[in-house]
Structures are given as structure tokens and as C-alpha cells.
Amino acid sequence: MNMPPVVKGLLLANVIMFVLDSAMAMFGWNINLSAILGLWYFKHPLFAIWQPFTYMFMHANFTHIFFNMFALWMFGRIIEQVWGGKRFLIYYIVCGLGAGLVQEVCQVTGLLHEGAMTIGASGAVYGILLAFGMIFPNERLFIIPIPFPIKAKFFVIAYAVIELIQGVGSNDGVAHFAHLGGMLFGLILILYWKNISTSKYSLGGGRNFWIDNGTSSYSRGEGSYHRKNEEGFFSKLRKKFGGKDEPEVTVRYMNDRERDYEYNRRKKEENDEIDRILDKVRQSGYASLTDEEKQRLFDASNRK
């Protein structure tokens, strides 16, 4: 599968910054990029206004950047194919900024030492993991060394619980609360996108396919197209955060009865095809799709 442009750009940006930072240290140049671009506590003398953005492009060592970039490549390319580049980039940046904000709040409240500096794309990457779990909740993942596959939704929940436990009970120098912050802001943004319009993420009045797969049912009568939401795992989670259920939507066409019937018939066929593709993803994984099916899914995600 071709690398989508935003993921490719983010990978290059992170690698370039890591190589540049390492080269400066190797040649003994008197410039510490991590100290300049990493995120310091806002009362610290080294804090600068650009750091909440630039810190997510800096990494401490090869292991740090390798696992972050591997997760970005593995999950981010799929999310970008489904959402499109613009929405994915907005999501990535919001998760990174949110992670930094949570880190600052933890320093204000005393949970973390005020002298700590934060670097790394982990907050944004954890947001991507959350998005993957919400888009493909039943996708099975093989996690070394666990000898059996785990559904994505359980993998995401387990990761969040582990980060919370480690954040409260350990002092290992890892920004666990920033990771949780990336997931939290990712969840808020996803719920916001879903809530701002009753049919914003539909295919011309059709299926909401990019979140909570399999939670919508459809019926079409003469001159109308109807969508009724059903509850899924993340729909219930959404309620716990105070989100309102997306109302039933009926689009009626009153002017030209025959023309509207043809329009609804064509839209129904398109939505049935997307349903079929998503069912295939849930059963066999995204990699099982043909190039044509991937393109259909990508085109549908960019259609307003």
C-alpha cells in the first residue's frame, strides 16, 4: 500500500529532527535542540511559546523514535486512508497539543516535577491508537509476546489502564499522563466531529462508517432515505462522556419524484457497497481489501 502523504511527511519530519539533534550532539556543537524545542513547564526559564507544538517532533533516543514512528506508520496510514489527510493532520496535532497541555496541568498540580522536560510524539501516537480502536473495534491485533490475537477495542482500553496505573504508581521518567492526554483529546475531538452534524460523516446522507462501525441500519421508502442509529460499544462510551445520541435522519425529496427515486436508489447501492467493504474489514482486516475497495473507502471518506 502506498504511504499516504501526511503520514509520510510526519515520519520524515520526526526522523530529520532526530538525525539533526543527534548530529549536533555527536559533533559537539553547542546547541541542544531538545532543550530548545522540548516542552518545559510554563514557569521554567527555558519555556518558549513554540514548545507545545515542537516538542512532539523531538525524541530522546533511537528506541524512543523507532516505536513511535512504527506505530505512526502501522496505524496512522490506515486512519489517513479512511479520514483523508486534512482531518488526520488536524487530529494528530490536536492529540499532541492535548498531551502537552495535560503534562503541564500535572506539573501545576504537583503530580509531576516542575523541572521535567517533555519530548516525543507519544501523545499524538496514543491518540492514533484510540482512533484505530474506535474505527475498527473488532480488528484483531497480534501483540508480542501475547500468543493470541486481541480485538483493537480491548487493546486500547488495556493500554489506557496500564498508562494510568504507571502514571500514578511509578517514577520512570516516562510521560504517562501525556499519553493519556493524547487519548483524551483524541476522544473529545472524535465525539465533537460526530456531534456537530446529524449527517456530516455520511455518504451523501448515508452511512456513518468511520466510527463505531456496524452501528447504523438503513431503510429506504419511495422518495425518502432513512437512517436509524443503533448502540455499539463506543456509542455507550460516548454517553458516559455526556454526548447526545445522533438523531434519526430522514431526507425527503419533494420536487421531482422520479428523479429523487433514482437518486435514492443510486445512493442506496453506494452505501450497500461501503457496508460490504466495512464488513470485510471487520471480518478479515483492512489488509484484505483490494486496491479498488481501498480507493472506494478513501473516496467515500472525503465526500461531503
pTM: 0.67
What local confidence, expressed as pLDDT, does residue 59 receive?
93
* Listed residue (11, 64, 55, 17) closest to 35, CA to CA: 55
Domains along the chain with CATH numbers:
5-195 (1.20.1540.10), 216-301 (no CATH)
Peptide bond into 145 cis (omega under 30): yes
Peptide bond into 147 cis (omega under 30): no
Task: For residue range 196-214, list pLDDT tens digits in order.
Answer: 744 443 333 333 434 333 3
Look at residue 154 and tell me whether its pLDDT is greater than 50: yes
- The C-alpha cell at 27 is 559533533
Most confident of 32-41, 155-164, 216-225: 32-41
Average confidence (pLDDT) over 108-121:
85
* Listed residue (97, 146, 153, 161) closest to 130, CA to CA: 153
Burial (Cβ within 10 Å: 0-12, 13-18, ≥19) of residue 102: buried
Look at residue 15 and tell me whether its pLDDT is greater than 80: yes
Average confidence (pLDDT) over 82-97:
95
- The C-alpha cell at 282 is 471487520
